[in-house]
């Protein structure tokens, strides 16, 4: 494929630059050794204990640092450093206190009360109190503000009450099983009301939270630098700075990890995993994930307004080869719209690879060979996204389509696919069910009004099932509802169902406490650099 030769050229260029760098470093080494010899053991010991700098290379960069307007994982990784929430998750994905020191739920399940810790402050010096919690959530549940995570909270929060300076309560519209895990979501980060009022629509570029880090510098397309918050109310920050660098080329990230230019890389290109594991200066973590990858089908445009055509393209794509050859087995073929890590999952059955069946359905639907369709993909946001999209392009051309292919930088891709007048027919998307509950695995991306419903599917029967599943009190009842919903989604085929990812993280061996939650959130607060 073309991407293989491009990859080889790119790696060759990087390696050539590294040879030059090493030569220059060698020239300087003797001078460094002389200076080191003159240093006292006391100063060496002091340097060892000084806060360190951490560099993390991602496939793309954050889109916004407004937690209530964030819908992508890398922005959420950044927001976890800046903002505290009422509750959070520990290393084992259990709910634990953060800004709230304790909480209670009413017997009828329709009221949750949080008692806040006293003394926490935002980095602008203003206090974290019940008023700031109310302001944050009132802002996101106000439909007029048009924030991306409106539906995450507005669907179940009726009213936010300031009971006292350090006690806040939420009146719920109905008993909502995933309420606490939803408050633990990164989108529940508490913001400084003062900063929001001052910055307005620019708050996503100049955020103020109460977390252990604050933004020092953001150079779009180059780097985002966080610096330690010296007045943090909790355990002091482990790092002096943490820098996010966007590196779209998968193998370039691996080279950066091997040379030490990056301390952590996400994701790790599958073809480099074995090589990196053999390097004693590098570790690779492969963990289960709640993230899937799918191709949104624009159900409002002919010929894809016909479910038979949507089913046809599902038969046309060889998912097994994508998993085995492109992802080297570090994924599994999707057999439902949500993965098995998500509560409420049940298998609806995968579409097998059957190009003859695809051609038959296309002929029955009256789709003529040579019909032109537009396929869009981000480049570098998801593991092997561009390569997978190119492979799918070939599969679809093999059953008679003429496929116009376009790759995008992720921020521009998101903006373009959200446009109501978007011209794509197929767009490569991914969804990490960050609450690990089927409600959030389906509601935002498959309900008619879902903020991330890129397929533009409008199915009243599915809407009713998802709504019923959200409001049902019994876990067994909810599971049955979601099973029915997943079967309906398969039949409607608003996507080309592709795969469920595993999450791969590469990091230098001198780091401790590098881990991710099962919702793929990379947690950097606890990382220690030796």
Assess if residue 86 is contained within a domain: yes
Do residues 199 and 326 both lie within one domain?
Answer: no
Chain centroid to CA 518: 11
Number of domains in the chain: 2
Assess if residue 71 is contained within a domain: no
Q: Contact at 8 Å (CB) between 434 and 518? A: no
Do residues 198 and 325 both lie within one domain?
Answer: no
Instruction: Report helix angle 2-38 to 250-259, nearest 10.
Output: 20
Do residues 453 and 308 both lie within one domain?
Answer: yes
Burial classification of residue 58, based on how many CB atoms lie within 10 Å of its CB (0-12 exposed, 13-18 middle, 19 or more buried): buried
Do residues 198 and 311 both lie within one domain?
Answer: no
The pLDDT of residue 49: 60
Domain that holds residue 107: 81-203
DSSP string, 150-192: HHHHHTTEEEEEEEETTEEEEEESS--TTHHHHHTSGGG----
Which CATH number is 161's domain given? 3.90.76.10
Assess if residue 316 is contained within a domain: yes
Mean pLDDT, contiguous 10-residue spans, the chain (530 residues): 39 43 40 39 48 93 96 94 97 94 96 98 98 98 95 96 98 94 96 97 97 97 97 96 95 96 93 93 90 96 98 98 93 96 96 98 98 96 93 98 95 90 95 91 95 95 96 92 98 98 94 90 94
Burial classification of residue 462, based on how many CB atoms lie within 10 Å of its CB (0-12 exposed, 13-18 middle, 19 or more buried): buried
**Which one of 151, 178, 203 terminates a domain?**
203
**Which one of 176, 203, 230 terminates a domain?**
203
Assess if residue 492 is contained within a domain: yes
Assess if residue 528 is contained within a domain: no
Do residues 91 and 187 both lie within one domain?
Answer: yes
CA dihedral 146, 226, 512, 102 (to 10 degrees): -50
The pLDDT of residue 5: 40
Do residues 365 and 468 both lie within one domain?
Answer: yes
The model's pTM is 0.77
d(CA 16, CA 13): 5
Query: SS3 letters for 351-417?
Result: CCCCHHHHHHHHHHCCCCCCCEEEEEEECCCCCCHHHHHHHHHHHHHHCCCEEEEEEECHHHHHHHH
Tokens at 178, concatenated: 């995933």
Do residues 496 and 349 both lie within one domain?
Answer: yes
Do residues 296 and 197 both lie within one domain?
Answer: no
Assess if residue 323 is contained within a domain: yes
Do residues 189 and 313 both lie within one domain?
Answer: no
d(CA 146, CA 144): 5
Assess if residue 233 is contained within a domain: no
**Which one of 203, 236, 271 terminates a domain?**
203
Assess if residue 209 is contained within a domain: no
The pLDDT of residue 219: 97
The pLDDT of residue 208: 98
* Helical spans, DSSP H, in 39-103: 41-48, 73-82
């Amino acid at each position: 494929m073309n991407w293989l030769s491009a990859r080889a050229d790119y790696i060759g260029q990087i390696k050539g630059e590294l040879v030059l760098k090493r030569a220059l470093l060698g020239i300087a080494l003797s001078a460094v050794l002389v200076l080191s010899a003159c240093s006292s053991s006391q100063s060496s010991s002091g340097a060892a204990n000084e806060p360190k700098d951490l560099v993390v290379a991602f496939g793309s960069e954050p889109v916004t640092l407004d937690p209530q307007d964030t819908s992508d994982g890398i922005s959420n990784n950044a927001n976890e450093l800046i903002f505290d929430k009422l509750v959070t998750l520990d290393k084992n994905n259990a709910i634990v206190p953060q800004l709230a020191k304790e909480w209670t739920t009413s017997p009828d399940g329709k009221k949750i009360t949080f008692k806040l810790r006293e003394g926490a402050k935002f980095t602008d010096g203003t206090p974290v109190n019940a008023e700031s919690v109310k302001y944050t959530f009132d802002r996101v549940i106000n439909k007029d503000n048009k924030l991306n995570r409106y539906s995450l909270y507005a669907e179940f929060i009726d009213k936010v009450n300031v009971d006292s300076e350090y006690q806040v309560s939420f009146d719920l519209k109905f008993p909502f099983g995933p309420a606490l895990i939803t408050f633990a979501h990164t989108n529940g980060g508490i913001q400084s009301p003062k900063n929001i009022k001052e910055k307005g629509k620019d708050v996503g570029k100049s955020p103020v939270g109460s977390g252990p880090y604050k933004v020092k510098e953001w150079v779009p397309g180059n780097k985002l630098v966080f610096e330690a918050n010296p007045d943090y109310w909790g355990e002091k920050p482990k790092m002096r700075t943490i820098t996010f660098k966007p590196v779209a080329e998968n193998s370039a990230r691996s080279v950066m990890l091997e040379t030490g230019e990056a301390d952590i890389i996400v994701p790790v290109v599958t073809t480099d995993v074995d090589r990196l594991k053999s390097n004693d200066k590098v570790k690779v973590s492969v963990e289960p994930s709640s993230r899937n990858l799918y191709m949104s089908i624009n159900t409002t445009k002919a010929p894809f307004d016909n479910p038979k055509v949507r089913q046809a393209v599902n038969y046309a794509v060889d998912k097994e080869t994508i998993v085995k050859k492109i992802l080297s087995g570090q994924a599994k073929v999707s057999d439902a719209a949500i993965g098995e890590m998500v509560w409420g999952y049940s298998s609806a059955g995968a579409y097998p690879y059957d190009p003859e069946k695809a051609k038959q359905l296309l002929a029955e639907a009256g789709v003529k060979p040579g019909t032109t369709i537009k396929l869009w993909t981000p480049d570098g946001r998801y593991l092997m996204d561009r390569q997978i999209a190119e492979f799918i392009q070939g599969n679809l051309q093999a059953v008679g389509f003429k496929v116009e292919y376009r790759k995008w930088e992720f921020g521009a891709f998101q903006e373009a696919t959200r446009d109501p007048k978007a011209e794509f027919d197929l767009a490569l998307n991914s969804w990490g069910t960050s609450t690990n509950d089927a409600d959030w695995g389906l509601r935002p991306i498959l309900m008619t009004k879902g903020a991330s419903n890129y397929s533009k599917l409008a199915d009243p029967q599915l809407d009713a099932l998802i709504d019923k599943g959200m409001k049902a009190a019994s876990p067994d009842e909810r599971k049955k509802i979601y099973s029915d919903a997943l079967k309906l989604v398969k039949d409607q085929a608003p996507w080309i169902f592709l795969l469920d990812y595993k999450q791969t993280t590469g990091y230098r061996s001198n780091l401790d406490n590098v881990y991710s939650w099962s919702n793929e959130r990379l947690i950097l607060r606890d990382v220690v650099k030796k």
